A and B are shown apart, each in its own frame.
Chain A
Amino acid sequence: MNRLRDPRWVLILSFLAILFGVPAVQTIREAVEEEGVLAVEAFPRSLSAAGLRTYEHTLESASWAAKASRPWFQLAQFAGLKDGGSKAIVARDGWYFYKPGLLDLVARSAPTVSPAGDTNDPVVAILHFRDQLAARGIRLVIMPVPNKESIYPDRLTARAAHLKGIIAPRTAEFQRRLNDAGVEWIDLFAAFRDARLESGAEVQPPLYLRQDTHWSPRGVALAAQTAARRLRELGWVQPGRVRYGERPAPVQRLGDILQMLQVPDLEQRVPPEAVDCIQIVQRDSGEPFRETSDAEVLLLGDSFLRVFQQDAPGSAGFAAHLARELEQPVQFLVNDGGGSTLVRQELSARPAYLTGKKVVLWEFVERDLGLGREGWKQVPLP
């Protein structure tokens, strides 16, 4: 007991209690839950750097101490110091932005072809895909969706208050190369910028959700109108005969950026955003829009195709709105975060999606030019 009257001992014992206590509690919890002791069971059978990293990551992910303390530390950073961690930026007037997207947007341009000669060039991948589709008699149109910060830079920082939209140098270069290569693409950058300028005092709802990386119902509708107009101009789709109607479908949506904060009781701290979706329905039956496999238009893309379509309220996403604009059904294939390569790999594995198609509209978000998961691989179609 005398030792506890000596601050040196108290410091040592506190330190050792933390060092030994955390793994001891972890082991006891795992033993009680009869899942086996992870520190033993997850140890790699063959010693390699990758195996050891995985082992470390596994222990870290399973740690009760990390799970218990992480949300509170993040809450202190978020609520007290307006810091959104590695994923989020807490911006002006209740707006949130995706931090990796912003850092990529402002970044020095990286070479698109690695020194080893492995291509990771979006334009090369697009041309390869276009040529493969052309061999099947299918036309390709590209639809890069602007990053939220490209359209709303003024919501990010007071310093950009005068800006109503920007085109980052790498994006401008990408657009120029698409034009030079004769690739057809839908210019949402211009459409969204013009819509913002026309908004004047901006009483209309924004084109993007405040708490989310994705577009708003208004952005969805504008994108669908712009895409349909372009497809008609190109003469790639014939006027349809399916009549669609619409009905209001308001939802409450807790934005994906907010969820990335991983703070406890988030919904009580930041109320979900009220989103006035427009659900597309069959005019005759009143049934919500459903994709059909005999459609002539196939949409490939990432979560921008998913929002409001597969998420609540359903049938209110880009696919439904494009179908209404074209007056004909469409089919879609979505891979969250995989607009650059993964969705084409999925198409390659499920070639039936191409049966009867005349047009493929390939959507991906601007940040995927630099951050695309799996890069920009050339994916052969079967």
Chain B
Amino acid sequence: MVFTTHIFVFYFLPLFLLVYYGLPMRWRNLWITLASYVFYGWWEPWFVGLMLFTTVMDFAWGKVITRPGATRRQQRWAVTACVVTNLALLGFFKYWMFAAETLNRVLAAVGAETFGVMKVVLPIGISFYTFHSLTYIIDLYRGHATPAKSFSVFSAFVALFPDLVAGPIIRYKTLADQLHERRHTVERFASGVAIFIVGFAKKVLLANPCGLVADAVFGTDTPQPFDAWVGVLSYALQIYFDFCGYSDMAVGLGRMLGFEFPRNFDAPYRSESITDLWRRWHISLSTVLRDYLYIALGGNRKGEGRTYFNLAVVMILGGLWHGAKWNFVLWGAFHGILLAIERWRGKRSLYDALPRPARVGATFLLMLFSWVLFRAENLSAALDYYRAMLGLGDTGVAAPLIAAAIYTPYHALVLAVGTALVFQPVQAHDWAERPVTWGRTAMLTPLFVLSLMGMFTQAFNPFLYFQF
């Protein structure tokens, strides 16, 4: 189920809230689990079986790890087995086809016989709930968390629908106490409503229209240079408002249920360097990669060279986490190399000497270049797009006509508002975080109505991060 749909807003959410607040606290986690399974199974009912399998398996591994009398060696075996099993499942569903097709290309290149590739459907959000579940096991092993008191608590954590399919990636230890006991207050609920509405508006009123422009330009056969820049700018705004909007909605829904989720974005396009960017963009993924991968690889404790290597590896794997495509690998490598260079320069960017607006502009420019890899269908399309941006390609005969579809007053308004919002100091999330006043109520309610009207009208409503 998608948050910005009729079925979620007018059927699932009211019914869920009605039952949730009608139940005593001890039943609420069970209700969250059941409702979340409906939410998840709405895409494809059999996906639920896979998530249930992961949940049962990891809960059992957790029991093994925390079994009284378990030796450190036994715990290590258990955590290794659990991580391998989870990653094997993730790898099979997400990377099998990519690996098999790559192998086929290699076989074809050396003249060997290729093999038929079994088609595997990617269960939506598998990367997110696998990471959720893994943080539980690893935190138990590291002694950073205590085991869930019951299966219903753990299953509620894994399945929790607000953050289930597109994050933020929330560690077990962050929610452990809240799963057992949380406060439901008017203030928290109202603040949740405010953040939810802001996220909803970001998605419907900004991300979707920006996506139309981005799709039109990226779909064009060799666009003109200016159009190509407008296209990638639109994509930068789309992916930000899409993902950040989703995260805001997740945080808002969490608060309506009494949870406090960490924020996932902190004005990323105002970053002054790539290092700064990764403190602000998809914060939950960056911190999970740092704490569970970078540190596990040795972090910066094994010398300078190894630090740079670790940074690059973590970012490449982070790229691959987004999807089984060489584009994502290169996108990760691009960021990994830039991070390594900045680390080598003492966490200073190559353009550190410039004034702040220029540093922000330069970082944004680098982001735009990297978004081409992220958005293009394949490497060849990405290369063509870079050529178009740099004016090195022959513009297609029909390409100038795309101007009629993208340069409308509506799109100009959306792009202008979107650009202004991402660069201004007070981010919408911060604005919504503040106490609810009459002024805010007077703005938020019409904003929600307007967003719903937009939702009713739009045929185009993808959530980009679901595919990851």
Count residues of B near A (Cβ-Cβ below 8 Å): 62
B197 touches A (CB below 8 Å): yes
Interface string of A38-77 (1 = CB under 8 A from B): 0100000001110010011001100101100110111001
Which A residues between 205 and 248 are near B, CB-CB below 8 angstroms?
none
Which B residues between 427 and 468 are near A, CB-CB below 8 angstroms?
436-438, 440-441, 444-445, 448-449, 452-454, 456-460
- Alpha-carbon distance between A153 and B397 when the two chains are bound, in angstroms: 11
Chain A interface: which size bin? 35 or more
Which single residue of chain B is at the shortest CB-CB distance from A50?
Answer: B44
Interchain CB contact (< 8 A) of A82 among B42, B212, B408: B408
Shortest Cβ gap from B55 to chain A (Å): 20
Q: By the criterion CB–CB under 8 Å, are B186 and A106 in contact?
A: no
- Alpha-carbon distance between A22 and B13 when the two chains are bound, in angstroms: 12
B23 touches A (CB below 8 Å): no
A85 touches B (CB below 8 Å): yes
B379 touches A (CB below 8 Å): no
B298 touches A (CB below 8 Å): no
Which single residue of chain A is at the shortest CB-CB distance from B43?
Answer: A49
**With a CB–CB cut-off of 8 A, which chain A residues contact B381?**
108
- Alpha-carbon distance between A102 and B411 when the two chains are bound, in angstroms: 17
**With a CB–CB cut-off of 8 A, which chain A residues contact B398?**
105-106, 153, 166, 168-169
Q: By the criterion CB–CB under 8 Å, are B396 and A169 in contact?
A: yes
Interface string of B292-320 (1 = CB under 8 A from A): 00000000000000000000000000000
Q: By the criterion CB–CB under 8 Å, are A19 and B14 in contact?
A: yes
**With a CB–CB cut-off of 8 A, which chain B residues contact A368?**
none
A1 touches B (CB below 8 Å): no
Q: By the criterion CB–CB under 8 Å, are A22 and B10 in contact?
A: yes
Shortest Cβ gap from B99 to chain A (Å): 17
- Alpha-carbon distance between A187 and B53 when the two chains are bound, in angstroms: 61
Which B residues between 385 and 434 are near A, CB-CB below 8 angstroms?
396-405, 407-411, 413
B7 touches A (CB below 8 Å): yes
Q: By the criterion CB–CB under 8 Å, are A59 and B44 in contact?
A: no
Shortest Cβ gap from B261 to chain A (Å): 19
**With a CB–CB cut-off of 8 A, which chain A residues contact B454?**
73
Interchain CB contact (< 8 A) of A23 among B14, B186, B405: B14
Q: By the criterion CB–CB under 8 Å, are B220 and A81 in contact?
A: no
Interface of A is mostly: helix
**With a CB–CB cut-off of 8 A, which chain B residues contact A103?**
216, 219, 402, 405
Which single residue of chain B is at the shortest CB-CB distance from A172?
Answer: B397
Which B residues between 314 and 370 are near A, CB-CB below 8 angstroms?
none
Q: By the criterion CB–CB under 8 Å, are B436 and A11 in contact?
A: yes
A123 touches B (CB below 8 Å): no
Q: By the criterion CB–CB under 8 Å, are A102 and B6 in contact?
A: no
Which single residue of chain A is at the shortest CB-CB distance from B187?
Answer: A8
**With a CB–CB cut-off of 8 A, which chain A residues contact B460?**
86
Interchain CB contact (< 8 A) of A166 among B41, B44, B397: B397
Q: By the criterion CB–CB under 8 Å, are A89 and B413 in contact?
A: no
A183 touches B (CB below 8 Å): no
**With a CB–CB cut-off of 8 A, which chain A residues contact B405?**
89, 99, 102-103
B221, B448, B460: residue with the most chain A Cβ atoms closer than 10 Å:
B221
B5 touches A (CB below 8 Å): yes
Q: By the criterion CB–CB under 8 Å, are A60 and B6 in contact?
A: yes
Q: By the criterion CB–CB under 8 Å, are B410 and A82 in contact?
A: yes
**With a CB–CB cut-off of 8 A, which chain A residues contact B449?**
18
**With a CB–CB cut-off of 8 A, which chain B residues contact A55?**
7
Which single residue of chain B is at the shortest CB-CB distance from A67?
Answer: B456
Which single residue of chain A is at the shortest CB-CB distance from B41?
Answer: A47
Knowing A15-B445, A106-B401, A157-B400 touch, does A52 contact B408 (C-beta < 8 A)? no
**With a CB–CB cut-off of 8 A, which chain A residues contact B190?**
8-9, 11-12
Q: By the criterion CB–CB under 8 Å, are A11 and B6 in contact?
A: no
B88 touches A (CB below 8 Å): no
- Alpha-carbon distance between A73 and B401 when the two chains are bound, in angstroms: 27
A7 touches B (CB below 8 Å): yes
List 20 interface pairs A-B (beta carbons < 8 Å), by A numbering: A7-B438, A8-B441, A18-B448, A39-B11, A49-B44, A55-B7, A56-B7, A59-B7, A66-B456, A69-B452, A73-B453, A89-B404, A89-B405, A102-B401, A102-B405, A103-B219, A107-B220, A108-B384, A160-B403, A169-B221
Q: Which 8 A-B pairs have the closest CB atoms?
A: A83-B410, A81-B410, A8-B190, A66-B456, A156-B404, A157-B404, A73-B453, A157-B403
A interface vs B, CB < 8 Å? 6-12, 14-16, 18-20, 22-23, 26, 39, 47-49, 52, 55-56, 59-60, 63, 65-66, 69-70, 72-74, 77, 80-83, 85-86, 89-91, 97, 99, 102-103, 105-109, 149, 153, 156-157, 159-160, 163, 166-169
